[in-house]
Chain A
Amino acid sequence: NAGVTQTPKFRVLKTGQSMTLLCAQDMNHEYMYWYRQDPGMGLRLIHYSVGEGTTAKGEVPDGYNVSRLKKQNFLLGLESAAPSQTSVYFCASSTPRFWPTSGRAINEQFFGPGTRLTVL
């Protein structure tokens, strides 16, 4: 059980280049999220998905696109990278189910290890 994994771990792009970040989870979670983390700004939601084939905009969606063709995967795309997109990107997943006897929190989001992206 790997949990949430992200590919790649590091990437350097030149301005204008495109790339796709892959997030995979093996916990059968319905919900998946993409965040970016910048110093002093916490975690900001880019896009999220409540199920296979559905996506929605978060707090900072401009310049990014996403796709959820399979329940276990959530892809984040940068069509034309800009230096302002230099950041650490985290994927997360969660499930809306509540386990009253296990003590597991509802809405707990499980994060991937992150992808450090630098755009020159």
Chain B
Amino acid sequence: GENVEQHPSTLSVQEGDSAVIKCTYSDSASNYFPWYKQELGKRPQLIIDIRSNVGEKKDQRIAVTLNKTAKHFSLHITETQPEDSAVYFCAASPRETSGSRLTFGEGTQLTVNP
């Protein structure tokens, strides 16, 4: 089955700096890679996603890049703000998987210091 590894497990940055979180996946059949944000005590919510036919996607201050050959994808947050502090999860979904199942990484606790 699919295996997703996420690094780093914790990340602390100063407000205004950039943050990068990286994930690798094992199943070359995976074709959908979402990122979820989970604030303390809240439910995970989708913030951005990318499909395997796209190398990069950007939405305001967040962007995701995908390298299919190397089987890794990354989340980039620019001009970080204190409200970006949360746990971020990457995930991967194989093309032929029944039920659109997602395999999640272990999560990254991002702290943005004012």
Given A40-B9, A108-B49: A113 and B102 interface contact (C-beta under 8 Å): no
A108-B9 Cα distance, complex, nearest whole Å? 24
> Within 8 Å of chain A (Cβ to Cβ): is B43?
yes
Q: Is the CB of A113 within 8 A of B99?
A: no
Q: Is the CB of A107 within 8 A of B98?
A: no
Interface size class of B (residues with CB under 8 A): 20 to 34
A96-B93 Cα distance, complex, nearest whole Å? 12
Q: Is the CB of B98 within 8 A of A42?
A: no
> Within 8 Å of chain B (Cβ to Cβ): is A25?
no
Given A106-B32, A112-B43: A42 and B106 interface contact (C-beta under 8 Å): yes
* Contact among B46, B49, B99, B105 for A48, CB-based, below 8 A: B99
Give the Cβ gap from B78 to chain A, nearest Cβ, in Å.
Answer: 21
Q: Which positions in A face B, CB cutoff 8 Å?
A: 31, 33, 40-45, 48-50, 56, 58-59, 90, 94, 96, 105-109, 111-114
